[in-house]
Homo-oligomer: A and B are copies of this chain.
Amino acid sequence: MAKENFVEQIADIEADFPRWYTDVVVKTGLVDYGPVKGTMVIRPYGYAIWENIQSELDKRFKATGHQNAYFPLLIPMSFFTKEAEHVEGFAPEVAVVTHAGGEELAEPLAIRPTSETVFGSMYSKWIQSYRDLPVLINQWANVMRWEKTTRPFLRTSEFLWQEGHTAHSSEEEALDETMKMLGVYKEFAENCLAIPVICGRKTEKEKFAGAVATFGMEAMMKDGKSLQAGTSHYLGQNFAKAFDIKYLDKDGVQKYVYTSSWGVSTRLIGALIMAHGDNRGLNLPPVVAPVQVVIIPIAAKKGGVLEACAELKQKLVKEGVRVTLDDGEQSPGWKFNEWEMKGVPLRIELGPRDIENGKAMIFRRDTLEKTEYDLKNIEITVKDLLATVQKDMLEAARVRRDNRIAYADDINGILQGVEKGNFVKAGWCGSRECEDKVKAETAATARVFAEGETSCKCAVCGKKSAHTVIFARAY
């Protein structure tokens, strides 16, 4: 048996978390390295997770009044210079097309690192009157940011994402939209990915280049580091002014619009892996798992076993469950390991004795518990169990995280906290100097403001605190 164990190929999660991560992503067939440095190929098993993420999010975007569209990949370099902060933030990471169709281009073109500028240029054309507002458009697209250090899903030169871009007649409405979409992300992260997130405003240093304010959601990974899982930006009139997006208001006056943008990416797959995985490999929540249930025949060659398994599969398919019957030639033990590594939430084992007794054994990937259930109405049992697993995984992740939230009064406390793999809440005066000092001395960054919490003094300089901040080391 031991020799058949796939899991031996994966590094120990406690001993070497980064290697555990790359082992898991590659060996479960989620991803492979592309031929160009820093790129990834998202393989079918990984892409199926992305399709489930897309379908869940897209439903929510449409339910909140957004429409999808598609804007061009290539953006004139000159567009970036129109918004001063934006160009400073993105120009260094841009990939540039200089030649096309056998000729040198008159103006170099950037492959979009994000699309505020090209949306801005079109919105300026489309928006004329208050009747045209709000404009609520999202796109699913690939983007490119040339990064020095890359890791599959977490940081790659090309990645897939969605980016919403909206335009409104008032500051209040644009801010409402910014917060509404942050709320959509949070609800999705918790109910679909089973990942509890902390949402809040980012510091000036950490905000999106060109935004008035950025709000992020932060998720704790199993090594205690934070992963920024999504952001929503209130852009004020910065892009409206840069791209001359004006409308004629009811009062006959030309006014600039207020805009927002918000996005999540294939990074979420990295979050799933690191929030739930363990030494057996992936551990996927049912809502986004490509395979929710695997059926493994025991003593498959005995009469009636494969037939009973196929019948069970049909029952589950009928109920809309994503189910696979593994009737391959490997031993049950080998299959157990393989499907556990792939993170399939439920495994049903069905052998001659089970069939005789009208029972089946169900294994839960999240708790590693095995329980016997009646075969009668098993499709109801399975659906209930999938819902339970989904809920329990969120709860387990929440407990893990909440046990690792610490408080600190000084920079040494922050250091000790993050060394232990905690999120550390501490007061901060609001100065860039103190923020930089935390980073230099602890390798932790200000993730988001802990909304509603107050500290009396800055953990760095001791002056009056302006915000309570969550500090953490981050991906």
A residues near B (Cβ < 8 Å) are 32, 34-36, 39-44, 46-48, 50-51, 67-76, 79, 91-102, 108-109, 111, 118, 121-122, 125-126, 137, 141-142, 144, 146-148, 157-158, 160
* Complex contacts, A46 vs chain B, CB 8 Å: 69
When A and B form their complex, which 3 residue pairs have the shortest distance between CB atoms, in order from nearest?
A: A101-B146, A44-B67, A95-B100
> Is the CB–CB distance between B51 and A69 below 8 Å?
no
Contact of A75 among B35, B40, B141, B147 (CB under 8 A): B35
Residue of B nearest to A141 (CB): B142
Give the docked Cα–Cα distance between A460 and B212 (Å). 69
What residues on B are CB-neighbors of A41 within 8 Å?
A: 69-72, 122
State whether A122 touches B36 (Cβ < 8 A).
Answer: no
**In the bound complex, do residue B69 and residue A47 qualify as a contact, i.e. CB atoms below 8 Å apart?**
yes
**Looking at the complex, which one of B50, B72, B95, B122 makes contact with A97 (CB distance below 8 Å)?**
B95
Known: A44-B68, A95-B99, A98-B98. 6 other contacts (CB 8 A): A35-B76, A39-B74, A41-B69, A50-B70, A73-B142, A101-B148
A–B complex contacts, Cβ < 8 Å, 5 sampled: A42-B70, A74-B95, A96-B98, A96-B99, A142-B142
CB distance from A280 to the nearest CB of B (A): 24
**Are the C-beta atoms of A102 and B98 separated by less than 8 Å?**
no
Q: What residues of chain B lie closer than 8 Å to A126, measured between beta carbons?
A: 32
Query: Chain A's interface: helix, strand, loop or mixed, by majority?
Result: mixed
Name which residue of chain B comes closest to A103, CB basis: B146
Determine if B99 and A36 form an interchain contact, defined as CB atoms under 8 angstroms apart. Answer: no
Closest to A137 in B: B44
Q: Which residues of B contact A122 (CB under 8 A)?
A: 32, 34-35, 41
Return chain B residues, CB-CB under 8 Å to A147: 101
A101 to chain B: closest residue by CB: B146
- Would you call B72 and A118 a contact (CB within 8 A)? no
Residues of chain B within 8 A (CB-CB) of A73 are 111, 142, 144, 158
Report the nearest B residue to A50, measured CB to CB.
B70
Query: Which of B51, B108, B141 meets A68, CB within 8 Å?
Result: B51
Most chain B Cβ neighbours within 10 Å, of A50, A79, A96:
A96
Contact of A76 among B36, B40, B48 (CB under 8 A): B36
Set of chain B residues within 8 Å of A76, measured between Cβ atoms: 35-36
* A96 surroundings in chain B (CB, below 8 A): 97-100
Give the CA-CA distance A39 to B35 in the complex, in Å.
Answer: 27
A42: chain B residues at CB < 8 Å are 69-70
Q: How far is the CB of A164 from chain B (nearest CB, A)?
A: 13
CB contacts (< 8 Å) of A160 on chain B: these are: 70
Chain B contacts for A50, CB-based, 8 A: 70
Q: Give the residues in chain B near A70, CB-CB below 8 Å.
A: 41-42, 47, 50, 160
Contact A121/B67 with A101-B148, A137-B44 known, Cβ cut-off 8 Å: no
With A and B bound together, what is the CA distance between A94 and B101 in angstroms? 6
Residues of B within 8 A of A93 (CB): 101
CA distance A73 to B43 in the complex (A): 15
A107 (CB) vs chain B CBs: closest residue: B36
A47 to B69, CA, bound (A): 5
CB distance from A127 to the nearest CB of B (A): 13
**Residues of the B chain whose Cβ atoms lie less than 8 Å from the Cβ of A109:** 36, 95
Q: Are B101 and A36 in contact (CB under 8 A)?
A: no
A48 to B122, CA, bound (A): 19
A118 with B35: CB separation less than 8 A: yes
Complex formed: what's the CA distance from A148 to B101 in Å?
Answer: 8
- Name which residue of chain B comes closest to A96, CB basis: B99
A98 CB → nearest B CB, Å: 5
State in angstroms the CA–CA spacing of A251 and B75 once bound together.
53
